[in-house]
Amino acid sequence: MSYIVALLLIGLIIFFHEFGHFLAAKLAGIPIQIFSIGFGPKVWAMKRGATEYRISLIPLGGYVLPEVLDETEFFNYPVAKRITMSAGGPLASIILPIFCFIIINIIVLPFSFNNIVIQPIYQTISVLYQMILAIPSAFSHTENLSGVIGIVVTGGDFIGINNLKAMQFTALMSLNLAVLNLIPIPALDGGKMLLYLLELVYPKSLRFHYPLALAGWVMILGLMVYVTAADVGRYFVA
């Protein structure tokens, strides 16, 4: 049961991240065609206005697809609007843990303004800072990386039937998602924002967006295959 809880919490974390992109796009005036949790064929869909909300088959992420005819039309939006949309996801993934720490502190600490308002922000920033410092170590020791299988297994073991640990797991995984997406790899939010900023300095760099994004996706998919194979070997092969 705890593994199902871990999987559902991962889904919640992904939803919150993608909802951040969605709200930021709306704020920037970029219409959205598809809001999807998961990739691949859709399992469930509902249309509201111009946006189709869907759950897709492969629960390894999600996406927000702008309502544009092609990439060229999307790049016609000002850089500031595109950066706003890209930044919305990581920002949402940083905000969610603040609410998690608020709930934890309400339960375990005396009720005070500091414990409920100031401390959760400090806790979030502190954990985020430690995760950023750990990035070089994570990529230099790839044997410690885990994919969805590993996260669900270790997360389920950690959570058990403890609601406080479920909140801690949600906060940590959401911050992990924020840090991961801010790494400047072109297919990730951090890479997109870096390329958008480069576009301001060197407009001709726009021609490199697509090939760099494709290379970034190849790298990410390769890493996903690697960590998934490692998880299978770690947890299912004797």
Q: Are 84 and 24 in contact (CB under 8 A)?
A: yes
CA-angle at 38, arms to 163 and 195, nearest 5°? 105
Alpha helices by DSSP H, 77-208? 79-108, 113, 119-133, 135-140, 148-159, 163-182, 189-201
Q: What is the CB-side half-sphere exposure of residue 232 using CA atoms within 13 A?
A: 6
Q: Is 18 a catalytic residue?
A: yes
Encoded amino acid at 51, one letter:
T
Tokens encoding 155: 């997360």
User: Which residues does 121 contact at the CB level (< 8 Å), separation at least 6?
Assistant: 98
Radius of gyration of the chain (CA): 19
Q: Which of 18, 67, 73, 199 is catalytic?
A: 18
Q: Which residues are catalytic?
A: 18
